[in-house]
Amino acid sequence: MGKKIYDDDIYDGADNNDYAEQYRRQLERYNRLSEGGRKKVEYVYENDDYDDFDEDYEEYGEADEPEYEPPSQSRDRPSRDRPSKERPSRERPSKEKPSKQPQKKKKSSKKSSKYDIKNNFGSHKQEKKKKMNPVKKFFVILLVIALILFILLQVFIWKYIGDVKKVETGDRHYTSGTMQSDDVLNILLVGSDTRSMEERGRTDSIILLSIDSKKKKTTMTSFMRDTYVTFPGLDRDGDGVDDMGKINAANVYGGPELLLDTIEYNFDIRIDKYFYVDFFSFAKIVDAVGGIELDISDEEAQGMEDPMGEQNNIFGNKKGTDYLSKGGKNMHVNGNQALAYARLRYVGNADFERTQRQRTVISKIVEKAKTLNPIELNSFIETSLESLTTNYTSSELYFLSYRVPFIAKYEIVSQRIPEDDKFTYGNHDGVGSTLDIDFDEAKGLLRKSIYE
């Protein structure tokens, strides 16, 4: 049993009305019994309140020690000027050990809340979850935006790929062109004056697009339509010898596959892929880009009336639609006019200037496409792809699409085969007038301009 905190002898020798003396003795006894870690309570009567004594004891006292209870007079302390007439109670307290009663929780101070492990455990971790670092938050938002844009890009790419008419590559008889490189992609652009690829008309435009990713250069090589060539694997008369004729007839005899074979065989350059477009779809492409600007001479403006008259009949236009009264510099022309300009053959140096006009129109379309806003560009791409037929597969077009933005920035160089003064005029039975060329000279030009 613990020691008694107070006893009757506290009041011995003290006057019944001397409450201060009684309180002082009680504190002395408490301090003697409270040694061993407790805070000593000093006696202050005049300026201190008895409640401070209780708080100090509750804060520093041990749980197994008896709780100090001041005399009942502590709550009704008499004034020093008017001492109380009541005698302090001498009732002996119970000797039983006080039971541990749950104390009313006090509001925790800042100091106690800081070190209250039980109540604050994990609070900092929860706070971090609620408040993200600004830098981290920025990158998370950036990542989400990038992911959304990437998904939208995939949707548009596959939509565009679906617009292209894809065909399987037919039988090839010659695929042994030795001029090739991992850095160079050769694509043949085939333009015909027919309304569709199925008609297998003569090809009025044959342009080899050589894309060099290392030099960041695109070379457009036009093959003159009257160039006299050998058609490998084609023997229509059965004499065991490959037929010969104008290069623009290859598409008629064997489709795009024979045209690819013919170029590989005669010029020793590797070509695997092609894009085909008919000239009348070509007019839609020019309109989709918003028209282009061309330098047109008065003679060309007059000569454009003949092909434009044929086009107006096919397009269902009124006679005389889009005719030009005269030429000019940087003239804005629509698809119908641009097509007539590209088909114009009997002005200037015949087919030599004609191939130059075709390359000029293609270059102008590419330049104009770079200036379009997103809505206009989307319309242009959709119209262009709907007009194309290719032997590219969907997966090959998908990977090619990621290269297109870079290819569009490459330098564009144009040339023609045969070059000036590198041919002679010929005339062959069943073929008519032709351009007979030196193939070694032509191969040298391709090697130098594309691979060196």
Cα-to-chain-centroid distance, residue 393:
24
Element (H, E) at 378: helix 374-386
- In terms of pTM, does the model score above 0.75? no
- Which string of b and e fits 42-77 if b means at least 16 CB within 10 Å? eeeeeeeeeeebeebbeeebeeebbebebbebbeeb
Contact 78, 22 (CB under 8 A): no
Tell which residue, 332, 410, 445, 389, has the closest CA to residue 198: 389
pLDDT of residue 87: 52
Distance separating alpha carbons of residues 412 and 220, to the nearest angstrom: 7
pLDDT of residue 53: 45
Domain 167-451, what fold?
Answer: Aminopeptidase (3.40.630)
Element (H, E) at 376: helix 374-386
Would you say the C-alpha torsion 186, 263, 256, 207 has a positive or negative sign? Answer: positive
The residue behind tokens 């309140």 is 49
- DSSP readout, 306-340? HHHHHHHHHHTPPTTTT--SS-EEEEEE-HHHHHH
Exposed/middle/buried for residue 151 (C-beta within 10 Å: 0-12, 13-18, 19+): exposed
Distance separating alpha carbons of residues 315 and 336, to the nearest angstrom: 9
Task: Spell out the residues 6+ positions from residue 277 whose beta carbon is closer than 8 angstroms to its own.
Answer: 189, 190, 191, 192, 285, 387, 388, 389
Tell which residue, 240, 241, 244, has the closest CA to residue 231: 244
What are the Cα distances from residue 350, in Å, to 226, 283, 353? 11, 22, 6
Distance separating alpha carbons of residues 285 and 366, to the nearest angstrom: 11
Distance separating alpha carbons of residues 262 and 245, to the nearest angstrom: 11
What are the Cα distances from residue 18, in Å, to 5, 70, 196? 20, 15, 125
pLDDT of residue 48: 46
pLDDT of residue 136: 86
Cα-to-chain-centroid distance, residue 197:
36
pLDDT mean for each 10 residues of the chain (452 residues): 50 59 76 60 49 47 51 50 51 52 52 51 53 84 92 92 93 92 96 73 90 96 95 92 95 94 97 89 92 95 93 91 94 95 83 88 92 91 92 95 92 92 91 93 96 92
Q: What is the pLDDT of residues 237-290, one digit of tens each?
A: 889 999 999 999 999 999 999 999 999 999 999 998 999 998 778 899 999 999
Cα-to-chain-centroid distance, residue 74:
80
What are the Cα distances from residue 449, in Å, to 179, 404, 415, 452? 12, 22, 9, 6
